[in-house]
């Protein structure tokens, strides 16, 4: 009875949240070294501690989603769960961006009151942020390096191994790519989706060419330039219309996602209104939003550093603002999903799917309505 009572005993708010540890974890270097605390250092510490707590939650969510997809067969019921958790990551990222505004209530001179105490500490040494990037699928050979050293060189051997283990254990990028490659709803039988898509692209481009040529507001030179930029089915559309071309682009490092996964992502985006494709479309949208929000944070972080430091080097020895701006421009992880927008065509041009495929992309209730309609019409 005593053990049972202890099991269900009440817990105090302070103890449950570990507030004694959290609220006593702000140690101002300015006070320790100079004996005179810089007022703004408290804000600086708390904002960064809050970041680390949110990074921990993001890691928790991403690991769970990767686990849902790292199976031989993904349970469709788990897609909704994954969407909910990925949406939570997006909202956390928005919060991370907004916290920069709080940091910017500190002026550059305020920061200089204690910045000299921070060397060589730096955000580059945030293990959790690097774990976050690795879980998403940022490849090491595409990372912008600083001081010519690997990104992991600032960590202990133990944490370096953990970062490598994250990659070996599977990333969100790999999990989604594998899932797309084996999605059952793109098994279209006798229907040649790509041939029908190619014809639709041709019609769309022809209409745009006619509109450009007939424009009364463009000069002949402008028309020529626009027609050249418009291209044809042998330009950017070739990445899905020609498998060998796609694989060559992969080999050159211009494309990362496999051909089959790209076709699946395109099909989902084009026919997103079909009942069974609505959740997969939401899933891909969430992933793009995570990539977008992370890029937004990188840009805002770079701008904040420019405001605070100008062109000073960072406390970790990087080029500061220039390095951060470059990561924002080049550390896109799901660029291939963004590029699907290039391949989209208007709904009015979508190839009409055979009735059998429409039934396979619907729900049972819809099947019955279609069957009843066919019976009544006979």
Share of the chain above pLDDT 70, in %: 89
Q: Please list, in sequence order, all residues whose beta carbon lies within 8 angstroms of the beta carbon of residue 155, skipping any fewer than 6 positions away.
A: 125, 127, 130, 163
In the DSSP assignment, the letter for residue 217 is: S
| Predicted local confidence at residue 208, as pLDDT | 85
CB 156 within 8 A of CB 119: no
pLDDT tops 70 at residue 378: no
User: What pLDDT, on the 0 to 100 scale, is given for residue 120?
Assistant: 81
Tokens of 112: 């200089």
Please say if the pLDDT value at position 320 is more than 50.
yes
Range of lowest pLDDT (10-24, 86-100, 154-168, 179-193): 179-193
Question: In the prediction, which pLDDT does 376 show?
Answer: 52
**Average pLDDT for the chain:** 87
Rounded (10°) CA dihedral 140, 143, 145, 148? 40
**Residue 62 and residue 132 in contact, taking contact as beta carbons nearer than 8 Å:** yes
Q: Is the pLDDT of residue 338 over 50?
A: yes
Res. 331: pLDDT tops 50: yes
Task: Please tell me whether the peptide bond between 210 and the residue prior to it is cis, using omega within 30 degrees of 0.
Answer: no
∠ CA 135-140-145, nearest 5°, is: 120
- Name the β-bridge partners of 146: 149
pLDDT tens-place string over residues 124-165: 899 999 999 999 999 988 888 776 778 888 899 999 999 999
For the stretch 242-284, pLDDT in tens is 999 999 999 999 999 999 999 999 999 999 999 989 999 999 9
Domain boundaries, the chain: 2-377
Structure tokens at 317: 């020895």
Q: How confident is the model at residue 374 (pLDDT cuts 50, 70, 90)?
A: very low
Phi-psi region of 183 (alpha: psi -120 to 50; beta: other; left: phi over 0): beta
Residue with tokens 């067969």: 73
At residue 220, the 3 state secondary structure works out as helix
Does the domain made of 2-377 have the CATH classification 3.40.50.720?
Answer: no
Angle at 166 between CA 162 and CA 171, to 5 degrees: 170
- Least trusted range by pLDDT, from 38-47, 210-219, 311-320, 335-344: 311-320
Distance CA 137, CA 333 (A): 6
């Amino acid at each position: 009875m005593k053990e049972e009572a202890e099991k269900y005993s009440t817990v105090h708010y302070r103890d449950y949240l570990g507030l004694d540890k959290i609220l006593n974890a702000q140690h101002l270097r300015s006070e320790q070294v100079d004996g005179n605390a810089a007022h703004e250092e408290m804000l600086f510490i708390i904002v960064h501690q809050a970041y680390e707590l949110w990074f921990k939650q993001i890691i928790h969510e991403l690991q769970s989603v990767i686990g849902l997809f790292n199976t031989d067969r993904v349970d469709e019921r788990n897609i909704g769960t994954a969407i909910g958790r990925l949406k939570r990551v997006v909202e956390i990222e928005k919060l991370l961006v907004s916290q920069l505004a709080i940091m910017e209530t500190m002026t550059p001179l305020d920061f200089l009151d204690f910045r000299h105490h921070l060397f060589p500490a730096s955000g580059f040494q945030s293990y959790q942020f690097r774990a976050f990037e690795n879980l998403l699928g940022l490849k090491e050979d595409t990372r912008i390096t600083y001081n010519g050293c690997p990104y992991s060189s600032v960590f202990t051997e133990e944490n370096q191994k953990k970062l490598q283990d994250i990659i070996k254990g599977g990333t969100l990028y790999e999990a989604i790519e594998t899932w797309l490659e084996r999605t059952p709803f793109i098994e279209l039988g006798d229907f040649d989706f790509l041939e029908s898509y190619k014809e639709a692209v041709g019609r769309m481009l022809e209409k745009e060419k006619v509109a450009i040529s007939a424009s009364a507001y463009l000069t002949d030179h402008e028309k020529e330039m626009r027609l050249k930029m418009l291209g044809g089915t042998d330009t950017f559309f070739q990445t899905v219309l020609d498998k060998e071309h796609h694989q060559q682009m992969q080999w050159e490092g211009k494309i990362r996602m496999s051909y089959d996964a790209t076709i699946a992502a395109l099909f989902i985006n084009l026919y997103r209104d079909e009942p069974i494709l609505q959740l997969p479309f939401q899933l891909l949208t969430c992933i793009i939003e995570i990539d977008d929000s992370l890029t937004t944070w990188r840009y805002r972080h770079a701008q904040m550093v420019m405001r605070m430091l100008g062109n000073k080097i960072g406390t970790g020895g990087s080029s500061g603002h220039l390095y951060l701006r470059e990561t924002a421009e080049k550390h896109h992880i799901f660029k291939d999903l963004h590029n699907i927008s290039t391949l989209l065509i208007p709904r009015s041009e979508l190839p009409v799917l055979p009735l059998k495929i429409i039934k396979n992309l619907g729900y049972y209730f819809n099947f019955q309505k279609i069957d009843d309609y066919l019976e009544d019409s006979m």
